[in-house]
Amino acid sequence: MDQADSAAARRDLAFHLHPSTNLALVQAEGPLVISRGEGVYVYDEAGNRYIEGMAGLWCAGLGFSEKRLAEAAYRQMLALPFYHSFSGKVPAISTELAEKLVGVAPEGMGRVFFANSGSEANDSAVKLAWYYNNALGRPDKKKLISRRKAYHGVTVASASLTGLAFAHSDWDLPAPRFLHAETPHHWRGARPGESEEAYAQRLADELERLILAEGPDTVAAFFAEPVMGAGGVLVPPATYFERVQQVLGKYDVLMIADEVICGFGRTGNMFGSQTFGIRPDVITCAKMMTSGYQPMSAMMVSQRIYSVLEDQSRKLGVFGHGFTYSGHPVPAAVALETLAIYEERDLLAHVRRVAPVLQEGLRAMADHPMVGEARGVGLIGAWELVRDKATKAGFDPKAAVGAQFVRNAQRRGAILRVLPGDIIAFSPPLVIEEHELRELLAHAAGALDETWQWVKAKGLA
């Protein structure tokens, strides 16, 4: 059945405004309507099965049929389907979740603010950096630095942090006060013969020059994903965060770790900050906190920062930030059950055990004519497709080579995602087993060969 032929697809084309989609293309080709999930697989309305190589959007850590999460939501719906956390009130289960998150977070976190998405958590962190410096009597210390190719969300503030063109073009972004440092990608950015450590030092020196040029008394915070996700699954070069944090400490710039993708096991530790030696002042997280089963995010802050917020709210009479659904009891219950399952099944040990299958499988294709670099850590990885391996030259974006790969993979029964620059991302559910990883890799390898034949037939290489 053609994707656009079903009644559900026709209704979708008539009424739905798709997020992060080529709207003209989906009108022409129709949507892929997914009707159910089972383990690491999803099924379309015609019954075709797909191994979900992206865990949805990096988030379904427990796959697509974990009944305990559905039961936790149901129990909470019966007990208390909604309550808020304004004016000193709170659902009991939200307090329980806040305590749990501080307990599993990297050392130094003291308090938790809840929101509904990664974008909202990062937006909240932007406002926090401004509020914090106002409270300290530093009204000029407001500029925020992220990195080119970073992805931090699509609200006005979080899209301004994002360093990708699609989040800025024709949206009148980035807004003032937002700066972008260089992307930490050794394969593309290093000079000939430059080691990862030397490259990391050069980037840290460039960051310091940026801070000095802007004025240290004007720079509030540095936002960074441990592994840059939507920007290309970019793993930081050795010693990068150690050297960057030395610069931040020198100029009293907050380190805000965006753990929306990396948090809760993706890199083999509970947080990517633990994998890469990041010592954050603030952590934002979402996605695998509920395994994607309910919308929820969090911003965790150090006790030092919280003390400043408390003093300022005493002065102003209120901490004037929050959402109707901050700490909503139903996603809070699902998040607690998710964290319990992670612990009971020792998902971190499982990720460490099966991750070599993914990483070795990706690197096994490094000699393929189209693979410029195979990279990753834990259960996240990527192939960067190139036209010329020697020069690292990419394909013309208009050729849509990565999109063709994704179509080929989907026909074979695997859902993967193309990122800007013809980068193919892999981020399967954390519960995936070795044989399922091999199935995913086999589909991907077949799609790669098929795409190479298509590229040659089109005269693109």
In a domain, residue 15? The reply is: no
* Same-domain check for residues 394 and 288: no
* Same-domain check for residues 295 and 435: no
- Measured CA to CA, the distance from residue 202 to residue 182 in angstroms comes to 10
In a domain, residue 23? The reply is: no
Order of strands across the sheet with 371-377?
371-377, 380-385, 423-426, 417-419
- Using the predicted structure, report yes or no on whether residue 159 has a pLDDT greater than 50: yes
H or E stretch covering 404 = helix 401-412
293, 328, 344: which is the final residue of a domain?
344
* Same-domain check for residues 448 and 411: yes
CATH number at residue 178: 3.40.640.10
Instruction: Name the band, by pLDDT with cuts 50, 70 and 90, for residue 461.
Output: confident
* Same-domain check for residues 275 and 357: no
* Same-domain check for residues 294 and 306: yes
Question: What range defines the domain where residue 270 resides?
Answer: 68-344
Burial call 217-232: b when 16+ CB within 10 Å, e when fewer: eebbbbbbbbbbbbbb
Q: Give the pLDDT score at 6.
A: 87
Judge whether 421 and 387 are in contact, CB under 8 Å. Answer: no
Q: Give the pLDDT score at 4.
A: 59
Mean pLDDT of 434-451: 98
Q: Is 118 helix (H, G, I), strand (E, B) or coil?
A: helix
The DSSP code for 256 is E
- Using the predicted structure, report yes or no on whether residue 1 has a pLDDT greater than 50: no
Tens of pLDDT along 289-315? 999 999 999 999 999 999 999 999 999
Order of strands across the sheet with 34-38?
34-38, 41-44, 49-52, 414-415
H or E stretch covering 111 = strand 109-115
CATH number at residue 414: 3.90.1150.10
* Same-domain check for residues 232 and 311: yes
Lowest mean pLDDT among 17-26, 49-58, 226-235, 432-441: 17-26
65 CA to centre of own chain: 22
Name every residue whose Cβ is closer than 8 Å to that of residue 360 and which is 6 or more positions away in sequence.
none
* Same-domain check for residues 299 and 350: no
Tens of pLDDT along 75-90? 999 999 999 999 999 9
In a domain, residue 6? The reply is: no
- Measured CA to CA, the distance from residue 228 to residue 152 in angstroms comes to 10
In a domain, residue 194? The reply is: yes
* Same-domain check for residues 353 and 299: no
- Measured CA to CA, the distance from residue 332 to residue 94 in angstroms comes to 6
In a domain, residue 21? The reply is: no
- Using the predicted structure, report yes or no on whether residue 372 has a pLDDT greater than 80: yes
The whole-model pTM stands at 0.96
Q: Give the pLDDT score at 194.
A: 98
Number of domains the chain contains: 2
* Same-domain check for residues 47 and 127: no
Instruction: Name the band, by pLDDT with cuts 50, 70 and 90, for residue 2.
Output: low
In a domain, residue 183? The reply is: yes
* Same-domain check for residues 44 and 150: no
311, 344, 377: which is the final residue of a domain?
344
Judge whether 210 and 220 are in contact, CB under 8 Å. Answer: no
Count H helices, E strands: the chain? 16, 15
Cis (ω within 30 of 0) for the bond into 174?
Answer: yes
Mean pLDDT of 205-227: 98
344, 375, 393: which is the final residue of a domain?
344
In a domain, residue 27? The reply is: no
In a domain, residue 11? The reply is: no
* Same-domain check for residues 297 and 192: yes
* Same-domain check for residues 61 and 88: no
> Strand pairing partners for 228?
234
